[in-house]
A and B are shown apart, each in its own frame.
Chain A
Amino acid sequence: MIADSVRTIWCRELQRDDIAVDDDFFALGGQSVIMARIQGAFIDELNVEVPIDQMFLNPTVASISAYIESLDTVSR
């Protein structure tokens, strides 16, 4: 499940373990520096480059995971 991997990355970079799949990144205290680190982690660990604008448009674990899954479908 991509959502599990995404949530693990979010928990690590936001330094909290109580993140639900529909929690808003910014309401959790996320900011641009953390977002850039998550973007890097997606590249290194999930092998996918997610544009930062997409991360702003999809600010929850559920929605950004769905976005990443849609990329997989396209590339297949």
Chain B
Amino acid sequence: MILQGKRVALPSVPVVHKQFEAHAAATPDAVAVFCAGQRVTYAELDARANRFAHFLATRGHGRGARVGLCLDYSIDLLVAILGTLKAGAAYVPLDPSYPAARLTLLLGQMPDLALIVASPATAGLVESTAVEVIDLEQLSDRLAQLPATAPDVVVTGDDVCYAVFTSGSTGTPKVTAVRHEGWFNLLNWLKVEYGLHPGSNNLVVSAFGFDLSQRSLMAPLFCGATQNLMASRNFDAAMAYRMLAEHDVRVVHCASSTLYLLVDWETARGGDTLTRLDYVLFGGEPLKARRIADWARREGNTCTLLHQYGVAECTDVASSYDLAEYWSGEHDNPPVGKPAYNTDLHILDERMRGVVAGESGEICISGASVGAGYLNGTGPESERFTTIEVDGESLRLYRTGDRGYVTPAGDLVVVGRMDSQVKVRGMRIDPADVERALGRLAGVREAAVAITYADSGEAELIAFLVPDGNELTENDVRARLLGTLPRNMVPARFLNIPRIPLSPHGKVDRAALLDACRNEFADSGMSA
């Protein structure tokens, strides 16, 4: 079973920042970014990005180089992103909402960073690394002396534009690289298919480390529209809701859990700001349609909800579905729709053969969006980038590890994971990654992490700890873990157990763990 995306020709050099530069030339006085009361025009942003690109070039950082960005949402963040791309280099988001210990671990997976751009507010998070850390504000005098025109750097569609961290199956985070051609294809698809234009103003509501945030950051600049950034390190529903109304925002990209928060906000306090948006593009975790059904079907709601599917390894989004069709139909599990342009979705069995229509199998992706693979070496994950023969032609393909099927209408439906990975509030997490962090804590002899579902239907992690001596208390372990892991990776519950149950094959028996957990709560009559 293959779902074929529409074939749409791309320019001969499909590089994302050239599209931004074309807008800067055509509409230099249009507002490119609004943040914290400040506005910059396309011409100003272009000039500042060019100066930063020249700075990187004078340091010898060009094609193939990687630049770490540890910055809060700010105009400087977009200067650094665009300048890095103009220099021919790729940027690597270092999310300042992560603990310093996690950033140190992530940086350990990226040994060849050229430098890290930070600000006075973020520099402390990355100071332990051997990589040079620079501050754009401190460099402003030097940057001002560099040319405001674009540097003469040849960049191709095959060059890497950004790389983001994902959780790895062996407990080591992976750095997955995206190519310009894939990113250009994604942004061009959204622009053409959904008619995004210079009025399609955006607000970023997701954390910088997510792959979806890279799309949300660049999409308005790709379309000639205004980007709005919240001067907040953490998602702030009150501020977001106010900015949506005050800044004529038309488009929002977010994880499903953020959409629930915004819908709850509007429902609890009244208002129609969300219903008047043009688009919310969302996904990244199984949709709880009930959470948004009443709001979505409100009289006069003209916001198109695009329910999307994709993986970071294949440039973020692979398919999209207009949820309006869902409310009128009979589906149980909301589809994620049809492929992006120049992207094919294959449903394959365990021997990599296509399943018959309607049957479920592993979702595999081929086409323009397939990324450049992992930057941090080999591992079992790297084998997921493979090639298959289709009609005598050899195709590069990525095995997502997600299971799905295709409806008679030709829409993809995702039914779950082939492995133990899970999405918690939009972040893809491998329990092994959390187990490793738990195992490093004093007083923990062994740890296992399993997945449960809260009453609301959302996935939660539950940790099982074999104490090395005294029983461990939940609040103590949680507090210590918060110092080393992003919050979404910290389990919701912690239980002490005498030993980790193993399956006959010697692997952690997660089903037995969950049984133990159910018994525990049934016996004690307590909720966590």
Contact = CB atoms under 8 A, between A and B. Distances in A.
Interface of A: 15, 23-24, 26-29, 31-33, 35-37, 39-40, 43-44, 49, 51-53, 56
A39 B487 contact: no
A40 B268 contact: yes
B234 A53 contact: yes
B234 to A, nearest CB: 5
A39 B482 contact: no
Contacts of B238: 39-40, 43, 49, 51-52
Interface string B12-52: 00000000000000000000000000000000000000000
Given A26-B479, A32-B425, A40-B265, A15 B235 contact: no
A26 B236 contact: no
Contacts of A24: 475, 479
Interface string B253-280: 0000100110011001100000000000
Contacts of A27: 475-476, 478-479, 482
Contact of B425 (A31, A39, A49, A51): A31
Contacts of A43: 238, 269
Given A43-B238, A52-B235, 8 more contacts: A27-B475, A29-B478, A29-B528, A32-B235, A32-B487, A33-B425, A44-B268, A52-B237
A25 to B, nearest CB: 10
A44 B233 contact: no
A31 B268 contact: no
Given A43-B238, A49-B238, A52-B235, A31 B487 contact: yes
Interface string B222-242: 000000000011111111000
Contacts of A56: 233-234
Interface string B274-304: 0000000000000000000000000000000
A70 B265 CA distance: 26
B482 A36 contact: no
Chief secondary structure at chain B's binding surface: helix
Interface in B97-145: none
Contacts of B482: 26-27
A15 B527 contact: yes
Contacts of B236: 39, 51-53
25 contacts: A24-B475, A26-B478, A26-B482, A26-B490, A27-B476, A28-B475, A29-B492, A29-B493, A31-B425, A32-B235, A32-B487, A32-B488, A33-B257, A33-B260, A36-B237, A39-B238, A40-B237, A40-B238, A40-B265, A40-B269, A43-B238, A44-B268, A44-B269, A52-B235, A56-B234
A28 B479 CA distance: 8
A53 B234 CA distance: 6
Contacts of A39: 236-238
Contacts of A40: 237-238, 264-265, 268-269
Top 6 A-B pairs ranked by shortest CB distance?
A52-B236, A27-B479, A36-B237, A27-B475, A52-B234, A36-B261
Contacts of A26: 478-479, 482, 487, 490
A53 B232 contact: yes
B104 to A, nearest CB: 20
A27 B477 CA distance: 8
A39 B269 CA distance: 12
Nearest to B239: A51
A32 B265 contact: no
A36 B490 CA distance: 18
A36 B478 contact: no
